[in-house]
Chain A
């Protein structure tokens, strides 16, 4: 198991895991997907511990839709307006992940997301 030692390492891991999670989701490969889901959650927990969750803001304009969705989801509590805008743009696209983003927003608005 990788031991996260720095914020830059956490961000690097976040990027890699979010991309792999999205790719696995698109392929229906739950084994790879869930492994990378756990990695994303570890980086999120580390960033929270370091009070550095805002460092994910830079991913709002990332080219990869998986990274944008992951970053926006976990920043919904602190940056709701901007994060919602990022997710809504995915919803409005014809991307495979539009329904994923829509469900995320729907669950957030229902108050069901534990982030």
Chain B
């Protein structure tokens, strides 16, 4: 496989996931692929779906561009002038795949996809995918008010970072697996027009032959332990694999929301964004748990180090005071609310970093009759499903994720009736 095909596959893993989420079976196939062939088959399907969704009419003639190009800029201007001349809308028929500085665009008329990443000097496919995933998540979350009930700016950034990180590493796996025997031809110095040609296919065939000649025990695992021993050591465990699979849905909902937004379907965008945010919750659990585990196990300390950039965004604080020193006071009439409460039991069970975590804290109106007061009161109440315990005592027996979901649902309920 050549670099272009790898690019396609990397992007497909992001865009195609929209369809995968709609078709649960395909998501499972991707998550459960344990051989190169299985992964390749699923990715090919995702790629085809992504191209179809983007409106590619003739996949065989699809042309990919990468890098900043005067040629492309001029072509953009030319197209705009042509449309203006023809009396068409100034709005180009382009599907933007990211924000202005790092955009990937599909030109319907030219049957071309352009990945323009020079502003960051990012030229590797995983960086493109990371940026797309990161920016799409921001777009999906910030374009609706619904998600604001669940997530603040810092949490949004954390979730976007997590999605971008996961997308980047998913793409890296694909690249590293498939591109090893071919020479990537993407360059930063000039725009290269890359066609899906015979040499790419030859590289893929040679790579497959090489893989087939290896000891099956060495090629079966999806994750390459030798290449990236720290992160993937964790993700190769059964628990890690389960968490890894939980990465996929948010791409789907985030992408769906974004596509719906582009199509002007703001209602659908809102719904999908809410789903995306809710589906992001496993990310929070994954990272907070990972850091907690890493803290207690010398073998996994490297994981925390490896995840440093992510951890600085997602990682919590040892005390609530330390959190407030960074994030500040909630402000007049407001209070910081721990969604998963900072009870001694929760702190002991989940660790300070998970509880005093930006992903677990949000500002709420405070005072008598406020949402904060109603929520706190609810946690002290007895309900018919708590077996004589208070809600707080009942929740203490449940996982971080369950407590988080319960807290968000009740928050939403009180928010819906708050004066």
Which residues on A are within 8 Å of B, measured CB to CB?
24-30, 33-34, 37, 40-41, 69-70, 73-74, 96, 98-100, 103-104, 107-108, 112-114
The answer to whether A113 and B377 have CB atoms under 8 Å apart is no
Interface size class of B (residues with CB under 8 A): 20 to 34
Extra A-B contacts (11), CB below 8 Å, given A28-B375, A34-B381: A25-B381, A26-B417, A30-B377, A37-B381, A40-B384, A73-B384, A74-B384, A96-B417, A100-B383, A100-B385, A113-B387
Contact residues in A for B414 (Cβ distance below 8 Å): 28
CB of B225 within 8 A of chain A?
A: no
Q: Are A99 and B381 touching (Cβ within 8 A)?
A: no
Residues in A with CB closer than 8 Å to B376 are 28
Does B101 sit at the interface, judged by CB under 8 A? no
Cα(A100)–Cα(B183), bound, Å? 58
User: Within the assembled complex, what's the spacing in Å between the Cα atoms of A24 and B377?
Assistant: 9
Residue B206 CB within 8 A of the other chain: no
- For window 360-378 of B, CB contacts with A under 8 Å fall at 373-378
16 A-B interface contacts by CB (under 8 A): A26-B417, A28-B373, A28-B377, A30-B377, A30-B381, A33-B377, A34-B380, A37-B384, A40-B384, A96-B413, A96-B416, A103-B383, A112-B385, A112-B387, A113-B387, A114-B388
**Counting CB contacts under 8 A, is B409 at the interface?**
yes
A107 to B416, CA, bound (A): 24
Contact pick for B381, options A33, A70, A96, A104, CB 8 Å: A33
**CA of A103 to CA of B381 in the docked complex: distance in angstroms?**
15
Closest to A100 in B: B383
Do A30 and B387 form a contact, CB below 8 Å, given A99-B413, A103-B406?
Answer: no
Option from B380, B388, B410, B417 in Cβ contact (under 8 Å) with A30: B380
A99 / chain B contacts, CB cutoff of 8 Å: 409-410, 413
Instruction: Say yes or no: A33 contacts B385, CB within 8 Å.
Output: no
Q: Tell me which of B384, B385, B390, B417 has the highest count of chain A C-beta atoms within 10 A of its own C-beta.
A: B384
